[in-house]
Amino acid sequence: MLSIKNIKQKSNYIWRVGATGLSFVSFGVGGVAIGGVVSPIVKLTTKNEELRKVRTQKLIKHTFKGFTNMMVKLGLMSYEVEGLEKLENSHQELIIANHPTLIDVVILIGLMDQANCVVKQALWSNPFTRGPVQGAGYILNAGSEQFIQDCVDRLSKNQAPSLVIFPEGTRTEKDKVLNEFQRGAANIALRANVPIRPVLITCSPSTLTKNEKWYHIPSEPFHVKIKVLDAFNIQDVLEDTSINPKNVRLLNHYFHQFFYQELS
């Protein structure tokens, strides 16, 4: 026979599975609404393309912030941020972060005043996310030289919003500290020559990692901690900052080792 404690625990778990499902449904509906209704209105009322991107990015920021707060109020998660002011005041920086859970980017973008973001093909073509990411002018990671140049061009504009990128390219595999880093972030850093700001993200207990279904939730609410570190320049890391495959490889190795040591 189940004890009262076990019954309460099971009821709480069922509630949180349902609330998690509701959260992701609302996220999808919100994406469709932004792409199908709000973005066309912004496009019709704003002739300037850059201003349209700014307004859409601001809209996404507030939507993501609202989604995060909803999950907190539903008792699904909690979060804390160390160095929030560094994110809020970030402009024309390359922000590199690890990627332990599905909602990292949602929390991160929701904390920033405005941000450019790199997105993969799946989000670019997904009907729930296509409208917002294209309307905001986010950059498609097609794995090409053009993708690198698009990022550099975006960062080269005076007082441009910072660019958020996850060097792992996908969520960290369960029970791993980090995946291997792809070289896109190092390529961009060398070519753009802007300050690089590391952001460390941890999630306890682990959830929504690579290959985990949304309903595989832990037995208790998860807690996300975001630590925003000081920015540095590539000249602080490499003596030779010329653009070549060797320096890209060296910088990428430095990024990975830096994050691995900070997170271990």
The domain that contains 187 carries what CATH number?
A: 3.40.1130
User: What per-residue confidence (pLDDT) applies to 218?
Assistant: 83
Going along 18-151, which residue ranges are E strands?
77-82, 94-97, 115-120, 139-141
Domain that holds residue 60: 4-263
Q: What is the arrangement of strands in the sheet containing 222-228, beginning at the earlier edge strand?
A: 77-82, 222-228, 196-204, 94-97, 162-165, 115-120, 139-141
How many domains does the chain fold into?
A: 1
3 state SS of 183: coil
User: What per-residue confidence (pLDDT) applies to 133?
Assistant: 82
Give the chain's residues under pLDDT 50.
none
User: What per-residue confidence (pLDDT) applies to 60?
Assistant: 87
Query: Which residues share a beta bridge with 225?
Result: 80, 202
User: What per-residue confidence (pLDDT) applies to 125?
Assistant: 78
Residue type, 25: V
Centre a 10 Å sphere on the Cβ of residue 264 and count the other Cβ atoms it contains: 7
